Amino acid sequence: MTLGSTINLKQLARGDSLTVTIDRFNNKYLGETDLQGKTVVVPGSIPGETIQGEVIRNWKRRLLLKPVEIVNPSRDRATPECQHFTTCAGCQFQHIDYQAQLEIKQSRLQSYFDDDHPATPIPLRGIIGSPNPYRYRNNIKLHGPGEPGFWQVLGVDMMRNQECPICVESVEQALQEQRQQRFQEFTNQGILNVLIRGTKRGEVYVGPEHPNPDEIAWLTEELTHPLTGVTYELVVPAHAFWQGSTPMLPKLVEQVVRPIQQFQPEKLIESYCGMGLFGLMSAPFAKQVIGIEDNPLAIEAANQNQQNLAVNNLEIFHGKTEDYLSDFLANLPWEKSSLIVDPPRSGLPKKVLKQILRYPPQQLVYVSCSPESFARNLKQLCRDTYQLQDVVGLDLFPQTKHLESVGVLERL
């Protein structure tokens, strides 16, 4: 069937053909258009392109196509490196030239700051691209039921992927070895969720995503401080959060820590500190550093690194940011005080925002993995209390829609 024919879309079944012109990206950055009252979704397409595709699923209000032929390709089109692209839900942009990917991400970040936003116009320096658009990701999680795999696009089932070229070589090699064995080492034990993680030092963990406490795997990561040149060896539990992009980690640290270096606070608080990465990297530039973290495994790693590196001005507290932040903020020096926040994708909870606004430190460095929640939180922070001095995006995850942002705010 071609666009404009009289065939009823409701009658299309899996494997049928349909040709459409793509109007826009949806919120998952999949190409889509509207036709006969349905939303037609086409992974691996670009707005303006005409695509001949194969019907994968046909719901009441939505139809999923897999591209078969690009009838009218965009000038931004690139050749995907993964055979599973458009089927696997992990990547959205492998078909787009990398420079165009960065432009899309910059536009995405700016779109959340409308004319009524108190931080508008935002002082955006742009998006820092990755030196490795592929071969950057240091960990993947595969899920059951059955043989573990990745989520399919708009699917409820897993796909058993044979490769993942955005991963560092050690991680992809481990994936391929396990796939050849059909992950039987784990499925025979009833383990359906498997984590593969590789370090810069070449260590690789392949095992349960959530092991028993006596089976926790400890790895060694290596990170050269981008501002001092000192190389750190950091103990990292495989099962606690660690930034997933090996080549972009020094660039992220630089953007977070440089404002601290310039400000030289007497006291710095890092909330949601995880393994204390930003606190450790900021310690040379602050008189006292306090980290707050709720995850016991991350706390153990942070304390080990603090002791191993003899960072005497860093102290880690075990607890939820929501419960303890106000106590620390209330005792900050009014002028020379800094706060680093690196919240989950949902952003800062209302309770935490209220605490910051009640006892605002002079400097606030906001690390965000969601432009939407970042803009939403800044709407409150910048209304009467802070001014957004600087913001930059970092493309930690090329080929995907994800974008990290770092904003530097100063108290009014």
The 3-class secondary structure across 78-122, one letter per residue, is CCCCCCCECCECCCCCCCECHHHHHHHHHHHHHHCCCCCCCCCCC
Query: Collapsing DSSP states into helix, strand and coil, what is residue 196?
Result: strand
Please count the structural domains in the chain.
3
- Note whether residue 335 is domain-resident: yes
Per-residue pLDDT, averaged over 183-192, amounts to 94
- Note whether residue 182 is domain-resident: yes
Spatial distance between the Cα atoms of 232 and 380, rounded to a whole number of angstroms? 37
pTM of this prediction exceeds 0.75? yes
Please name the amino acid found at residue 11. Answer: Q
Q: What is the pLDDT of residues 55-111, one digit of tens each?
A: 999 999 999 999 999 999 999 999 999 999 999 999 999 999 999 999 999 999 999
Spatial distance between the Cα atoms of 383 and 406, rounded to a whole number of angstroms? 19
Residues 213 and 250 in one domain: no
**pLDDT of the residue at 378:** 98
Residues 183 and 257 in one domain: no
Residues 39 and 105 in one domain: no
Please name the amino acid found at residue 166. Answer: I
> For residue 281, what are its two tokens?
């990297």
> Rounded to whole angstroms, what are the CA distances from 270 to 123, 231, 366, 387?
24, 21, 10, 20
Instruction: Answer with the residue of higher pLDDT: 157 or 225.
Output: 225
Residues 60 and 172 in one domain: no
Residues 282 and 215 in one domain: no
- Note whether residue 84 is domain-resident: no
> For residue 389, what are its two tokens?
């001095």
Structural domain boundaries enclosing 168: 139-219
Domain holding 32: CATH number? 2.40.50.140
Spatial distance between the Cα atoms of 344 and 373, rounded to a whole number of angstroms? 9
Pairing assessment for the beta strands 404-411 and 363-368 based on DSSP bridges: antiparallel
Residues 121 and 152 in one domain: no
Mean pLDDT over each residue of the chain, to the nearest integer: 95
**pLDDT of the residue at 155:** 81
Residues 187 and 291 in one domain: no
- Note whether residue 4 is domain-resident: no
Q: Are 290 and 265 in contact (CB under 8 A)?
A: no
Q: What is the pLDDT of residues 113-161, one digit of tens each?
A: 999 999 999 999 999 999 999 999 999 999 998 899 999 999 878 999 9
Residues 18 and 124 in one domain: no
Residues 45 and 108 in one domain: no
Per-residue pLDDT, averaged over 199-217, amounts to 93
Residues 254 and 298 in one domain: yes
Please name the amino acid found at residue 259. Answer: P
Residues 268 and 400 in one domain: yes
Helix (H) or strand (E) holding 1: none
Residues 165 and 273 in one domain: no
Spatial distance between the Cα atoms of 47 and 31, rounded to a whole number of angstroms? 6
- Note whether residue 160 is domain-resident: yes
Q: What is the pLDDT of residues 74-87, one digit of tens each?
A: 999 999 999 999 99
- Note whether residue 314 is domain-resident: yes
